[in-house]
Amino acid sequence: MQWPLQRVLSKASSHLMLYLDEEQVRQHLRMEELIPAMEKALIDFSAGKVTQPVRSVITVDPPGGFFGMMPALAEGLGIKLVTFYPPNAELGIPTHMATIFLADPETGAPLAVMDGTLITEMRTAAVSAAATKLLAAPDAKVLTILGSGVQARSHNEALRLVRKFEEVRVWSPTKAHAEGFAEEIGAEAMSAEAAVRDADVVVTATNSKMSILRGAWLKPGCHVNAVGACRPDWRELDDEAMANVVFVDSREAAMKESGDVLLSGAKIYAELGDTLAGKVPPRANETTIFKSLGMAVEDIAAALLVYRSATATL
């Protein structure tokens, strides 16, 4: 059943605050619009136009979860509250869940509360698409996805908008999940090494705490989007992979949160926003790694797209 948009009178002002659930967010968010919005958010961040502290995280153990708080001020003002509970995978429920709150930057008045789970899923893939558009070979034909969850699905959708792949390969720690995902998207499931060998673009989107991708497997000139391993003691890529040209969304966040960067001692070449702005050469003819941790400015920019679309129909 589809519920109508709900508007709640805020006690703080006469403004009506909008509430949107996940399905309502889905109706107002399009990947084709999200990718350029993420490019702008990344450029603004690297240009110093965004006020955004590094994500604050509380460990919830047991059961082994994390609660994160991600505020940002840019074109919009807001905060994302996100939980990451890897054990949820065994329960058949999402490992990531989130809520986003938007406020009016001019008055501080509450504007909207919306489900942030889908936004997190889509904006992460949209940022990877922006990186792929900039860094992958223009004639890239083979896409490999390591992982079979919501991020794997979202990346398959987003990356196809920026490159015309002729072949998609899939690997997952659970063979049945890999086979099911491959059948769903018209791909082929295989071993991690076989999937990565000769691939033009690789996505790592797993909950792995140890490296699953070896640099020796990478084709020269390949581009990798690494979106898992969001803790300083977790990693998806080995030292050899991280010895390539490394881009990040935020240097500050990477040096605090990225096990891929910290454990390998990798040298960060540039923030993606600086390269998108043309301030730093993309070195797209070399093997490139984009280590994505996700930023609040991305969530707020995506939430603004949803808010503007939703209020335009009221």
Rounded Cα distance, 136 and 202, in Å: 10
In the chain, which ranges are E strands? 6-9, 16-20, 56-60, 65-73, 77-84, 96-103, 110-115, 142-146, 167-171, 188-189, 201-204, 223-226, 245-248, 268-271, 288-291
- State the pTM of this model: 0.92
- Give the per-residue pLDDT at 14: 46
The CATH code of the domain at 137-295 is 3.40.50.720
Quick one: average pLDDT of 57-78?
Answer: 96
- Read off the pLDDT band of 11 (50, 70, 90): very low
On whether the CB atoms of residues 97 and 83 are closer than 8 A, the answer is yes
- Read off the pLDDT band of 9 (50, 70, 90): very low
pLDDT in tens, 162-199: 999 999 999 999 999 999 999 999 999 999 999 999 99
The CATH code of the domain at 6-119+297-312 is 3.30.1780.10
The amino acid at residue 271 is: E
Parse the chain into domains and list their residue ranges: 6-119+297-312, 137-295
Report H helices in 110-238: 117-135, 150-159, 175-185, 192-196
